[in-house]
A and B are shown apart, each in its own frame.
Chain A
Amino acid sequence: MSRRVTLNLGFQGNTRDVTVVIPDDEPTPWQWGERLSVVGKPTPRVDGPLKATGAAHYTYDIELPGMLYGAILRSPRPHARIRNIDLSAAEHLDGVRAVLALEDREIRFAGQEVAAVAAISSDLAADALKLIKVDYEKMPFVVDMDRAMADFAPRVFGSGSNVGRTSTSSVGNVARGLEVAANTIEAAYTTAVQTHVCLETHGAVASFNAARDQLTVWCSTQGVFSVRDDLAVYFSLPPDNVRVVCEFLGGGFGSKFGATPEMIVAARLAGATGVPVKVMLPRGDEHRSTGNRPNSEQKVKLGVDRDGKLTAIDLVQRGSGGIGGGAGSAGPFKSIYRCANIRTEERNIYTNAGPASPMRAPGWPQGCFALELAMDEMARKAGIDRLEFRRRNSDNPVRAAEYEIGARAFGWAEKNSSPKSSGAFKRGVGVASAEWHAVGVPGPEAQVIAHRDGAVEVRVGTQDIGTGTRTILAIVAAEELGLPVDRVKSEIGDTRFLFSVPSGGSLSAPSNTPAVRQAAAHLKDKLFRIAAPILGAEPDDLEASDGFIRVRTNPSRSLAFADVCKRIPGDSISAQGERVANYEGFRTDQAGCQFAEVEVDTETGIVRVTHVVAVHDAGRIIDPLMARSQVNGGILMGIGFALFENRRMDPMLGIMVNPTMDDYKLLGSLDVPRIDVTFFEVANGITNTGVMGLGEVAHVASAAAVACAVYDAIGVPVRSLPITPDRVLAALGRA
């Protein structure tokens, strides 16, 4: 039932053989250095033309016969009790088909859902919202984290304190570590709330078939199956009676897991009216209500000995996820650098603001910024080169190799020692270390189908969050079947396909590709059984390559793949594969590092990022184009976090003042630096493809590298993100 396979794992100059036991029907993992035909080669995004021409159908594009348009009324008040809600005027408006008061009677943030309508046009739905009369009993509120911690602060949740549970971790003895240190630093760092700004806002189209008790929801989601399960629970339906479809998704970044309120509203309105209902959120709602990355205040102490080795890392952190939690940022402090004495303390503070949701490497970009800027402050104080300081305190051989690759590509030695330039414009460079864990999980199952016309289809119930999932699944199946990629079509984003996991946590590539590969291998076996008698060979003697199925020992005896398909008895032949449990690997973590160069106008405080070099390991790279695109995205989101983005709340009104694409500053094309990405390939084992995820690790260090570069440029640290002109001028003592 199982067999032993020896894998050569590691990277150039650092490999070891590992024997793993894998199921019999699991294809032999691709070995390091194995010659592959399409895996690892640049393949343009297979659905790129659909997206570029507008032919790709996003949730917004779904139009069904008789469909109504839903809209959601949100509270303008940050904290209130709803005394009464009068829906009658809205209900009597011509063209309105349903009006719902939502259950919550206590409002805890400006933007919380209050009521919903469905009407024959989106304009009428908007008109109807204006007719709903809500009698709010105002309650005291607090949107500022510091004020929320005060003894007499208004309580966000009636009885409970605004200060959540303290989460602590401790290794060794930090007090002792600081005591023995030759040098110490102590500083406080802050980061702002960043919103996800999915270019496609949250939304759904829901259709209820009452006769069959069947709910179908088209929605913008990172997890069709998690939405299905949530909706099944909410509406007390068997999961099989709920179908969720997401053919194309315009970004999620962690804010689109599970059944979000607008999906439930759409489904409720569809149930109430008996016809399909579409609810797409306006941009303001997207900013205020669908999630965000919490802010943070991080008090950091570091100690080093005379050799520049860390003796203590201490973090006292708090952050506010509004009415939500998950504001911790201790991750990087606990694991990027080696230190015998590490203590972290995190506290979540509740405020009357929109709830946090997971956002690209939750907690890590904040933590990495504070840790890395503190590392630079320490290095300066101790008189050690910043890169050397990191080398001395990292025991990860992958990262050590990546530092060298990055330093060469970036020109660290020259740039770090060259003058910052005279005059007002000063250049600076910084380096920061990344880390993530992205080996994937078992669970996904895949189906691969060969049709009589020779076309191959991959079906998996995953979804493409924008990273090129369709493309890499087609590449993996094409590799296994010996076909060019354009012969394989990926069908995803539908719970009618076999189960897959949500696209988040860098799970997609390492969880889905092994299932697809196994399914393709099983399909190949079936095709070999069809071809074998014709070729006068045993199935085991065949191989598939270059579009042919041939006898391994006599390649001239071959059949075109398409000719084999013509002999499929029915219309198609299919096989399934599953993602088996992780087997042993080289490492389960990823390293990675990013170098940034900035130019600071020291008279105006305006910062421009001019160059970023990123070095990342993600196991085997399936498609360098998709992978690079993902790293670009991570870096740009990091630059936005470092320089521009800030959800600003008015403390007196309790509202977000900048919930628009105009006032919420998202970087644009002229703010994009030169970016060079290098992938450091590591034979990682763990699955039959050896792929690791890349979405989060590419983003962890970006803001930190920029902040470190600004410090290098101007000689004083700006300890708060975003690094806006006022803060740079203040750091320079000019404003």
Chain B
Amino acid sequence: MNRFEVITPADLASASRLLAQDGHVAFAGGVDVLDLSKQNVESPTALVNLKGLKELGGIEVRPSGELRLGAMAKLSEVAEHPAIRARFTAIAEAAGEVATPQIRNLGTVGGNILQRPRCWYFRNPDVNCLKKGGDTCYAISGLNRYHAILGGGPAFIVHPSNLAPALIAMRASATIVGPAGERTVELEKFFTLPTVDPKRENSLKSGEIVTEVIVPASPSSVRSHYLEAREKQSFDWPLVSVAIALDRAPGANTVRDARVVMGAVAPVPWRSPEAEAALKGGPLDESRARAAAEAALKDARPMSDNAYKVVIAKVIVRRAIMSVAGLEAA
């Protein structure tokens, strides 16, 4: 780890000005930024401490039914919030599956969606990979059991956020404040593929701060669910995760609308219009769930060591659909 200073700005505007400077990195829960610094992957000259900026805090379900998650809201608070559990179930479930209780007590909503990938080449200080300005993604010819099966190239990382697939499934947007003022971006469009810039995972610009995530009101006909598969039950990253949101006509089994978003399979949270199309318009049963799972992985391009992730992804997508539909597996 290099030496850095910690600056606590008085307000959001100063935070933004500070973050526009070279080597200045946002410091929220501190989980990933300290990991990256300790691993010498990032060497910030200053950490801009966002704790205490009141615009970034809080969890609120507004009278309209809209959910506001402050960027500094703790994952443990999201996981345990009764209204989120009831009406935005997938989001609470995703937050509750993150790492360990200790990390959930530190980790924030903003930090979770902005965390850097876990790729073991990217995280190794002795390897100058494509994501760090080098010219090679070592996962291509190297060890890639945890890497991308969809959307990979030229870098083959997977996006590690648990929360992002759930937020995208619930149509969330991020509010971003920066030197040019405030903007709102649909979270689905916020994340960027390595084809845009292999060194980045999102479109956050210099000096910009994610201040909050807004999830639109979810009709009572919508049910959602987040499910992940991981090797260890304690403190492990998902091999595959999926968030499902289904809107069915009251009293009917016909799917009016569906969102299927997978995590840990692609360099961005991976929404599957194909799976959604397979679910829409018909009655929901196991064969439709299977068809949706097949559709979700139709374009999968596994690497040398990770074909098993395609198998697991299909299972997890199907199980999540079955569960949210209240169907038991045959």
When C-beta atoms are compared, the residue in chain B nearest to A650 turns out to be: B142
Residues of B within 8 A of A658 (CB): 120
Category for how many chain B residues contact A: 35 or more
- Among candidates B39, B121, B235, B316, residue contacting A657 with C-beta atoms closer than 8 Å: B121
Q: Is B203 an interface residue (CB 8 A)?
A: no
Q: Is A54 an interface residue (CB 8 A)?
A: no
Q: Is A424 an interface residue (CB 8 A)?
A: yes
Q: Which of B11-19, B59-67, B169-177, B303-311 contacts A (4 or more CB under 8 A)?
A: B303-311
Q: Is A675 an interface residue (CB 8 A)?
A: no
CA distance A655 to B142 in the complex (A): 11
User: When the two chains form their complex, are residues B120 and A663 in contact, meaning their CB atoms are under 8 A apart?
Assistant: yes
Q: Is A63 an interface residue (CB 8 A)?
A: no
User: When the two chains form their complex, are residues B120 and A735 in contact, meaning their CB atoms are under 8 A apart?
Assistant: no
- Among candidates A127, A605, A660, A662, residue contacting B312 with C-beta atoms closer than 8 Å: A605
Q: Is B126 an interface residue (CB 8 A)?
A: yes
Residues of A within 8 A of B2 (CB): 127
- Among candidates B1, B141, B142, B232, residue contacting A126 with C-beta atoms closer than 8 Å: B1
- Report the minimal beta-carbon distance from A670 to chain B, rounded to whole angstroms: 4
User: When the two chains form their complex, are residues A660 and B145 in contact, meaning their CB atoms are under 8 A apart?
Assistant: no
- Report the minimal beta-carbon distance from A650 to chain B, rounded to whole angstroms: 5
Q: Is A186 an interface residue (CB 8 A)?
A: no
CA distance A32 to B298 in the complex (A): 69
User: When the two chains form their complex, are residues A604 and B315 in contact, meaning their CB atoms are under 8 A apart?
Assistant: yes
Q: Is B234 an interface residue (CB 8 A)?
A: yes
- Report the minimal beta-carbon distance from B5 to chain A, rounded to whole angstroms: 13
CA distance A223 to B239 in the complex (A): 41
When C-beta atoms are compared, the residue in chain A nearest to B127 turns out to be: A653
Residues of A within 8 A of B145 (CB): 726
The contact string, 1 if C-beta is below 8 Å from chain B, for chain A 566-610, is 000000000000000000000000000000000000011110100
User: When the two chains form their complex, are residues B234 and A735 in contact, meaning their CB atoms are under 8 A apart?
Assistant: no
- Among candidates B3, B142, B230, B233, residue contacting A653 with C-beta atoms closer than 8 Å: B142
Q: Known: A423-B329, A662-B118. Contact between A123 and B234, CB under 8 A? A: no
- Report the minimal beta-carbon distance from B1 to chain A, rounded to whole angstroms: 7
CA distance A735 to B75 in the complex (A): 35
Q: Is B249 an interface residue (CB 8 A)?
A: no
CA distance A4 to B230 in the complex (A): 62
Residues of A within 8 A of B235 (CB): 668
- Among candidates A604, A605, A663, A668, residue contacting B233 with C-beta atoms closer than 8 Å: A668
- Report the minimal beta-carbon distance from A668 to chain B, rounded to whole angstroms: 2
Q: Known: A657-B120, A657-B121, A734-B311. Contact between A724 and B231, CB under 8 A? A: yes
Q: Is A667 an interface residue (CB 8 A)?
A: yes
User: When the two chains form their complex, are residues B311 and A729 in contact, meaning their CB atoms are under 8 A apart?
Assistant: yes
Q: Is B182 an interface residue (CB 8 A)?
A: no
Considering only residues 194-245 of chain B, those with a C-beta below 8 Å from chain A are 229-237, 239
User: When the two chains form their complex, are residues A735 and B308 in contact, meaning their CB atoms are under 8 A apart?
Assistant: yes
Q: Is B83 an interface residue (CB 8 A)?
A: no
Considering only residues 96-129 of chain B, those with a C-beta below 8 Å from chain A are 100, 118, 120-121, 123-124, 126-127
- Among candidates B39, B127, B231, B329, residue contacting A606 with C-beta atoms closer than 8 Å: B231
Q: Is B185 an interface residue (CB 8 A)?
A: no
Most buried by B among A655, A657, A724: A657
Residues of B within 8 A of A690 (CB): none
Q: Is B143 an interface residue (CB 8 A)?
A: yes
User: When the two chains form their complex, are residues A725 and B232 in contact, meaning their CB atoms are under 8 A apart?
Assistant: no
CA distance A606 to B211 in the complex (A): 38
CA distance A312 to B154 in the complex (A): 54
User: When the two chains form their complex, are residues B234 and A668 in contact, meaning their CB atoms are under 8 A apart?
Assistant: yes
- Among candidates A652, A660, A663, A735, residue contacting B307 with C-beta atoms closer than 8 Å: A735
User: When the two chains form their complex, are residues B138 and A652 in contact, meaning their CB atoms are under 8 A apart?
Assistant: yes
CA distance A606 to B229 in the complex (A): 8
User: When the two chains form their complex, are residues A652 and B308 in contact, meaning their CB atoms are under 8 A apart?
Assistant: no
- Report the minimal beta-carbon distance from A683 to chain B, rounded to whole angstroms: 41
User: When the two chains form their complex, are residues A644 and B312 in contact, meaning their CB atoms are under 8 A apart?
Assistant: no
CA distance A643 to B35 in the complex (A): 26
- Report the minimal beta-carbon distance from A587 to chain B, rounded to whole angstroms: 39
User: When the two chains form their complex, are residues A655 and B233 in contact, meaning their CB atoms are under 8 A apart?
Assistant: no
Residues of B within 8 A of A423 (CB): 329
Q: Is A557 an interface residue (CB 8 A)?
A: no
- Among candidates B124, B231, B306, residue contacting A655 with C-beta atoms closer than 8 Å: B124
- Report the minimal beta-carbon distance from A713 to chain B, rounded to whole angstroms: 17
User: When the two chains form their complex, are residues A671 and B234 in contact, meaning their CB atoms are under 8 A apart?
Assistant: yes
Considering only residues 665-679 of chain A, those with a C-beta below 8 Å from chain B are 665, 667-671
User: When the two chains form their complex, are residues B315 and A603 in contact, meaning their CB atoms are under 8 A apart?
Assistant: yes
User: When the two chains form their complex, are residues A655 and B127 in contact, meaning their CB atoms are under 8 A apart?
Assistant: yes
Q: Known: A606-B231, A665-B232, A667-B234. Contact between A652 and B311, CB under 8 A? A: no
CA distance A735 to B300 in the complex (A): 14
Considering only residues 289-319 of chain B, those with a C-beta below 8 Å from chain A are 305-308, 310-312, 315-316
Q: Known: A650-B143, A657-B143, A726-B305. Contact between A668 and B232, CB under 8 A? A: yes
Residues of A within 8 A of B1 (CB): 123, 126
Q: Is A271 an interface residue (CB 8 A)?
A: no
Most buried by B among A424, A604, A668: A604
Considering only residues 117-164 of chain A, those with a C-beta below 8 Å from chain B are 123, 126-127
Q: Is A648 an interface residue (CB 8 A)?
A: yes
Residues of A within 8 A of B121 (CB): 650, 657
CA distance A663 to B329 in the complex (A): 33
Q: Known: A126-B1, A655-B127, A730-B308. Contact between A671 and B138, CB under 8 A? A: no
User: When the two chains form their complex, are residues B233 and A725 in contact, meaning their CB atoms are under 8 A apart?
Assistant: no
User: When the two chains form their complex, are residues B126 and A76 in contact, meaning their CB atoms are under 8 A apart?
Assistant: yes
CA distance A657 to B141 in the complex (A): 13
When C-beta atoms are compared, the residue in chain A nearest to B312 turns out to be: A604
User: When the two chains form their complex, are residues B329 and A671 in contact, meaning their CB atoms are under 8 A apart?
Assistant: no
Residues of B within 8 A of A726 (CB): 145, 305-308
- Among candidates A655, A667, A725, residue contacting B126 with C-beta atoms closer than 8 Å: A655
Residues of B within 8 A of A668 (CB): 100, 232-236
- Report the minimal beta-carbon distance from A137 to chain B, rounded to whole angstroms: 18
**Interchain Cβ contacts under 8 Å between A and B, 28 examples:** A110-B126, A123-B1, A126-B1, A423-B329, A424-B315, A424-B329, A604-B229, A604-B312, A606-B230, A606-B231, A648-B143, A650-B121, A650-B142, A652-B142, A653-B138, A658-B120, A663-B123, A665-B236, A667-B232, A667-B234, A668-B235, A670-B232, A671-B234, A725-B231, A726-B306, A726-B307, A729-B308, A735-B311
| A-B complex: 4 closest residue pairs judged by Cβ atoms | A668-B234, A670-B233, A726-B308, A670-B234
- Chain A interfacial positions (CB closer than 8 Å to B): 76, 110, 123, 126-127, 423-424, 603-606, 608, 643-644, 648, 650-653, 655, 657-658, 660, 662-663, 665, 667-671, 724-726, 729-730, 734-735
Beyond contacts A658-B120, A668-B233: 13 other A-B pairs, Cβ-Cβ < 8 A, are: A123-B1, A127-B3, A424-B329, A603-B312, A603-B315, A651-B142, A652-B141, A663-B123, A668-B100, A668-B232, A670-B233, A730-B308, A735-B307
